Amino acid sequence: MPSIERMTLVNIAGMSRDIDATLRILGESGCFHIESASKISGKTRGFDASKELNPYLAPLKILQEIQSRYDVSYTPTDYSIVEGQRVEKITAFVKDLIEKLDSISEEKKNTLEHLSLREQAISQLDHLTGLNIDFQRLFHCEHVKVRFGRIPIDSYHKLPYYNDKLFYFTYFSEEKEYLWGVYFVPNNFAEEVDEIFNSLYFERMRVPDFVQGTAVDARDVIRDEIVKDKEKITDLNNQINEILRNERERLNMLYSRIKTQHDHFVLRDKAIVVNNKFYIVGFIPQKEEQRFQDHFKELTSVSIVMQPADENGKLPPPIKLNNNKFSEPFAMFVEMYGLPSYNGFNPTNLVAITYTLLFGMMFGDLGQGIVVFLIGLYLANKKKMAMGRIFERIGISSAIFGFIYGSVFGFEHLLDPVFKILNIPFLPFRSGDMNNAMNILIAAIGIGVFIMLMSIMINIITGIKSKDFEGALFANNGLAGFIFYGAIIAGLVSVLLGHSIFSVPYVIGLIVVPVLMMFFREPLADLVKGKKFKAESFAEFAVTSFFEVFEFLLGYASNTLSFVRIGGFVLSHAVMMSVVMMLMESVNGGAKPVVVIIGNLFVMGMEGLIVGIQVLRLEFYEIFSRFYKADGRAFEPVTVDFAEKK
């Protein structure tokens, strides 16, 4: 099975009267990726949205309003019972329904406002029960303003300083640091006295004008009103729920029909119409060809012509990745970077393997790896999260490398009896032993060299397949770069081993010549293609090529050293866990397990996140950048989206 799904270009033509039936079949097929027909034909005369309005838009909006206002959940269902109903009749029904619901909701809203005012009034009257006077008599005072509220006790004692002002204050209840009371002031002096009381932190309380009688009498009356309001709200809620319960099945069928027909009608913009004939173009997977044609058995007036996917250069085929069960979850990382071209390379398997291995190396701990695996198992099976399946894989990898390092929740010698049984006297990569630091760093660089050479090799193969000879043969990530980088690494290794292989023929043939190939990569590529190289001036070409090759050479060094972070994280993980062990040793026996647990959780959370990001960085910048061109677009078959729009 190819790693990128093979596609077929489908051309569909028929009479205009059959376009709705055709679009419905395309939607039901679940495998048709529609394109704008004007791209391939050059015709632009199609359905004009300004002249032909979508007849399903009005009822759809009302149904969605019911969904959002009344928390109705629609699910796709068989709508054959309502399929024959006229759209106008459906529109009238849902319009009457929402008007009825809105009428009840408006009454409920008014009742809630009425209830809220009464509840506020009750809380205010609780502080005024000491005032035994009819509020309406106070409200009808023509020459005196009345202000209810509370004043801090400290401020109350300052009132004698204002005895020369025309006001009278009396309090009738006390709570903690406040006195609840009322002051009276003539209308002409109200503004001045109000400012005085504001400066004394008087908090005014406005008594609603519907309060009648004394505070005690009014409170009893309002409590009765509150009870009635709550009963009315319950009754109105029951009315709404009863209506929705009775109409739920019908609403579900109507929504399924209207949403389906609305979305299919929108697809008309993708078609072109000429002389009462329509033309639609798109892609289907090759394996779906027969099933797709079977959908049109009864619509014999419509013509279907199938062609190879890359038959028309104006429409690059969409991309649908084929991945095995192990690599499938890692497709999210590839899609995050971008999809490959139709004839390109699907890197998902490569990402799955390298990401799993690199994460395990950098986060190697048997115990923590098992915990990560169990978390992934929960997220994948209970929460149905794709990231959970990635956690499963990297958790197993971390556990395996943790066994190699001899680390279990930071305990570096817990597995020693196991190694003794296996007759393994020495662990060259024990992360807790700093004497092994150089082994770990050298191994990290070796892994980086291997990954870089592998990435360059992939670029050579994909470049030759796509006839990009400059990139495949003469560029820094082509054959010239592969030979140069491989020769440098091999030479350095030989020097470290004490048997240098550097010689004049070696240097000239495997180092100088590849550098010259990279320098003259453009003219060499044109020569291979049989074209004549053109440059504005040799000096400009030489300067540009010199700095580009210089950048290539620096890139080899910096990219290689970038993989040192693998060893760095192995060592940092060991150091962080050693700190946890030190803290454990510094506390009393009962607290030791708590320190170990908290320490491990902290390291797993912080370092796990950092390692995950760093491995992804290595994937994108050190691997993908060498061969991967994310210029593809996703395969998106025509479907009806029933998800509620927020």
**CA 192, CA 435: separation in Å to the nearest integer?**
85
Same domain, 38 and 154: no
**CA 56, CA 17: separation in Å to the nearest integer?**
18
**CA 263, CA 268: separation in Å to the nearest integer?**
9
Res. 50 pLDDT band, cuts 50 70 90: very low
What's the average model confidence in pLDDT over 264-271?
A: 89
Residue type, 355: Y
pLDDT higher at 419 or 635: 635
Structure tokens at 372: 């990560």
Same domain, 19 and 160: no
| SS3 label, residue 163 | coil
Q: Which residue has the tokens 């510094």?
A: 586
DSSP-H helix ranges across 282-365 = 289-294, 331-337, 348-362
- β-pairing, 168-175 with 33-35? unpaired
Q: Which residues contact 181 (CB under 8 A, 6 or more apart)?
A: 148, 149, 150, 151, 169, 170, 171, 172, 173
The CA distances from residue 252 to 55, 58, 76, 244, 245, in Å, are: 19, 17, 7, 11, 11
Write the CATH number for 145: 3.30.70.2750
What pLDDT score was predicted for residue 129? Answer: 61
Answer for the pair 338, 435: CB distance below 8 angstroms, yes or no. Answer: no
Domain count, the chain: 3
What pLDDT score was predicted for residue 496? Answer: 86
**DSSP string across 382-423:** TS--HHHHHHHHHHHHHHHHHHHHT-BTTBTTTTHHHHHHTT
What pLDDT score was predicted for residue 49? Answer: 38
Residue 459 counted as domain residue? yes
What's the average model confidence in pLDDT over 410-431?
A: 73
- Kindly report, residue by residue over 591-633, the tens digit of the pLDDT: 888 999 999 999 999 999 999 999 999 999 889 988 888 889 9
Answer for the pair 514, 460: CB distance below 8 angstroms, yes or no. Answer: no
Q: Which residue has the tokens 């400012």?
A: 195
Answer for the pair 613, 336: CB distance below 8 angstroms, yes or no. Answer: no
Same domain, 281 and 349: no
Q: Domain range holding 15? A: 7-82+256-308
What's the average model confidence in pLDDT over 549-560?
A: 88
What pLDDT score was predicted for residue 132? Answer: 64
What pLDDT score was predicted for residue 256? Answer: 93
Please name which of 271, 369, 392 lies closest in space to residue 600, comparing C-alpha atoms: 369
Same domain, 389 and 448: yes
Q: Which residues contact 490 (CB under 8 A, 6 or more apart)?
A: 501
Res. 569 pLDDT band, cuts 50 70 90: confident
Residue 369 counted as domain residue? yes
**CA 490, CA 511: separation in Å to the nearest integer?**
11
Same domain, 272 and 144: no
- Kindly report, residue by residue over 309-336, the tens digit of the pLDDT: 888 777 889 999 999 999 999 999 999 9
Q: Which residues contact 379 (CB under 8 A, 6 or more apart)?
A: 385, 387, 388, 391
Task: Report percent pLDDT > 70 for the chain.
Answer: 91
Residue 181 counted as domain residue? yes
Run of H or E residues at 125: helix 87-125
Residue type, 38: S
Residue 244 counted as domain residue? no
Residue 221 counted as domain residue? no
Last residue of a domain, one of 245, 278, 308: 308
Whether residue 432 is predicted with pLDDT greater than 90 in this model: the reply is: no
Please name which of 397, 409, 403 lies closest in space to residue 360, comparing C-alpha atoms: 397
Whole-model pTM: value is 0.76
What pLDDT score was predicted for residue 122? Answer: 74
Whether residue 48 is predicted with pLDDT greater than 60 in this model: the reply is: no
Res. 133 pLDDT band, cuts 50 70 90: low
Whether residue 508 is predicted with pLDDT greater than 60 in this model: the reply is: yes
Q: Which residues contact 376 (CB under 8 A, 6 or more apart)?
A: 387, 388, 389, 390, 391, 392, 393, 394, 395
**CA 170, CA 181: separation in Å to the nearest integer?**
6
Same domain, 276 and 356: no
Task: Report percent pLDDT > 90 for the chain.
Answer: 45
Whether residue 511 is predicted with pLDDT greater than 70 in this model: the reply is: yes
| SS3 label, residue 86 | coil
Least confident window among 459-473, 501-515, 531-545: 531-545
The CA distances from residue 160 to 152, 373, 434, 442, in Å, are: 15, 76, 81, 88
Same domain, 135 and 51: no
Residue 226 counted as domain residue? no
Same domain, 363 and 481: yes
- Kindly report, residue by residue over 367-400, the tens digit of the pLDDT: 999 999 999 999 999 988 889 999 999 999 999 9
Structure tokens at 220: 């009893």
**CA 466, CA 344: separation in Å to the nearest integer?**
8
Same domain, 57 and 158: no
Answer for the pair 34, 638: CB distance below 8 angstroms, yes or no. Answer: yes
Residue 123 counted as domain residue? no
Q: Which of 171-185, 503-517, 533-547 shows the highest mean pLDDT?
A: 503-517
Same domain, 290 and 394: no
Instruction: Tell me phi and psi for residue 158, to 5 degrees.
Output: -90, -10
DSSP state of 466: T
Helices (H) and strands (E) in the chain, counts: 24, 9
Residue type, 1: M
Run of H or E residues at 97: helix 87-125
Residue 248 counted as domain residue? no
Whether residue 356 is predicted with pLDDT greater than 60 in this model: the reply is: yes
Same domain, 162 and 296: no
Please name which of 101, 116, 29 lies closest in space to residue 246, comparing C-alpha atoms: 101
Whether residue 96 is predicted with pLDDT greater than 90 in this model: the reply is: yes
Average pLDDT, the chain: 86
pLDDT higher at 530 or 31: 31
Q: Which residue has the tokens 């779906």?
A: 288
Same domain, 509 and 451: yes
Helix then strand then coil, % of the chain, to nearest 5: 60, 10, 30
| SS3 label, residue 142 | coil
**DSSP string across 39-67:** HHH-------TTTS--TTHHHHHHHHHHH
DSSP state of 269: G
Structure tokens at 51: 């002249």
Count of CB atoms situated within 10 Å of the CB of 302: 17
Q: Which residue has the tokens 């679940």?
A: 30
